[in-house]
Structure 1
Amino acid sequence: MSEPTTPEAPHRRLGIVAAVAATVLVLDQLSKWWAVNALDNGHIVDVIGSLRFNLFFNTGVAFSLGSGNGLGPWISVLAIGVVVAVSFGATSRVPLGAVASGLISGGALGNLLDRAFRGDAGFLHGAVIDFIDLQWWPVFNVADASIVVGAILLVIASFRMAS
């Protein structure tokens, strides 16, 4: 008599998570390097319509809220937890969820690196480099955009898993 078989849960797709996160991290850091070097001294690059590149140093949280009140290091610690939770969550078992996890992880790590090393006040007291300026939305960067797109994809993947 054979025992009933139970379907195995698919393995987490950590390779996809890692590859997407690494790609986002590299693109984010290269774009920030460009922004710091090309947009110093108040130089602004008009791209198209209301899109322009304009350098800002964000010491606060999302959308520069809380600048100057010391929330930056706490956000960095929270980001580490988010990266771990998202990377090893249930949605990383499906390709869309793994891509979403990689986008969020890469973006969180990109901004965490800024907080860790782009400041004179010590480790985790730096400023995030923001430079994509739509003029009708808060200034952001590649990491921020990746986190938002990843969050949207994560919701979609969650709904697909539930159905």
Structure 2
Amino acid sequence: MSTSALPEPTEPAAAETEAQAGRQTDDQTGTDPNAAVRGPRRVLVVWTVVLAALVLVVDQLTKWWAESSLTLGDDTIPLVGSLLGLRLIYNPGAALSIATGMTWLLTIVVVAVVVVIVRMVSRIGSRAWAVALGLLLGGALGNLVDRFFREPGFARGHVVDFIAYANWFVGNVADIAIVGAAVMIAVLSVLGIGLDGTRHGGDEKPAEDEEGANDVPEVPASAVTTDPDPAARPEPTEEPGSTPSSRADAEEER
């Protein structure tokens, strides 16, 4: 009794079988395929939070020093000629004393910005973005603390500013962090570096190379010569009346 050979699995079926085997192996070993991505991302999130906390602490400490060492209404104490100095003021508005009569609205805006930053931090995948968002989050929280807990009341507090930039405006450490973050974000955007660390538009060139590699001219089937099977070649026929000796003489003459 003859048995027929079992058909070999096709390529899609074999690939699906290998994928299922890989998933079963991951389930048995308890490994997560996304763990390699979440690990570095978790580290970047920690860096961002630590940097934000550092900016917040430095900002509040310098504001405490300014209130205890400087007097409101005094002239500017020069540090670098007339370009940089120290002068204590309380700012109810934003930078450059914008929107001084809408402190509560600025507080709402800052809270919304903080929420957006926190959501962005959870998807971070770049060290540069970690630094930028850490500076931005720390600076926003530094001024938000003033809005919540300083006079004249909750969500209407005035921000402590003490770093005078010539006759232009007076700021604080939180403002420096925010400006630095804005510059970094602008540079990263110009370079095309996304929040996850990938470069936008970087796949265009490889795609073109792949397309060019696929543009190989096809050779027509008629131009392809194949070597026939030697076993299928017809054997030479012997001429009538020829003998082995005559055939040997003919071979020697050749």
1:55 is matched with which residue?
A: 88
**Which AA in structure 1 matches 2:155?**
L
Alpha-carbon shift at residue 41 of structure 1 (Å) = 4.2
User: What does the per-residue CA deviation read over 1:22-73, in whole Å, with 9 as the maximum and x for residues that have no partner?
Assistant: 0000010011111111111434422122210001110012211121x2x212
SS of the residue aligned with 2:168?
coil
> What does residue 81 of structure 1 align with?
112
2:78 counterpart (39, 46, 53): 46
Q: Give the paired residue count.
A: 160
Q: Which amino acid aligns with 2:130?
A: A
Match of 2:164? 133
1:118 paired residue number: 150
Partner of 1:104: 136
State the 1:126 CA deviation.
0.8
TM-score by length of 1: 0.86
Letter aligned with residue 62 of structure 2: S
* Secondary structure, counterpart of 1:89 in structure 2: helix
Unpaired segments ≥5 residues, structure 2? 1-14, 23-32, 195-199, 203-254
Deviations 1:113-150 (A, max 9, x none): 11111112x21111001111111431111001101101
Query: Structure 2 counterpart of 1:98, which letter?
Result: A
Taking structure 2 as the reference length, what is the TM-score of the superposition? 0.57
Per-residue deviation at 1:11? 2.6
* Matches of 2:37 and 2:72, distance apart in 1: 57
Larger RCO (CA under 8 A, 6+ residues apart): 1
Runs of 4+ in 1 over 3 A off after TM superposition: 2-10, 41-44
- 1:17 touches 1:87 (CA, 8 Å); kept in 2? no
Identity %: 37
Is 1:27 the counterpart of 2:27? The answer is no
* Secondary structure of 1:88's aligned partner: helix
The answer (yes or no) to whether the contact 1:86–1:92 under 8 Å persists in 2 is no
- Structure whose CA Rg is larger: 2
Give the aligned CA root-mean-square deviation in angstroms.
2.4
- 2:99 aligns with 66
Q: How many angstroms apart in 2 are the aligned matches of 1:115 and 1:93?
A: 31
Q: 1:149 to 1:66 in 2, by over 3 A?
A: same
Structure 1: tracts of 5 or more residues without a match = none
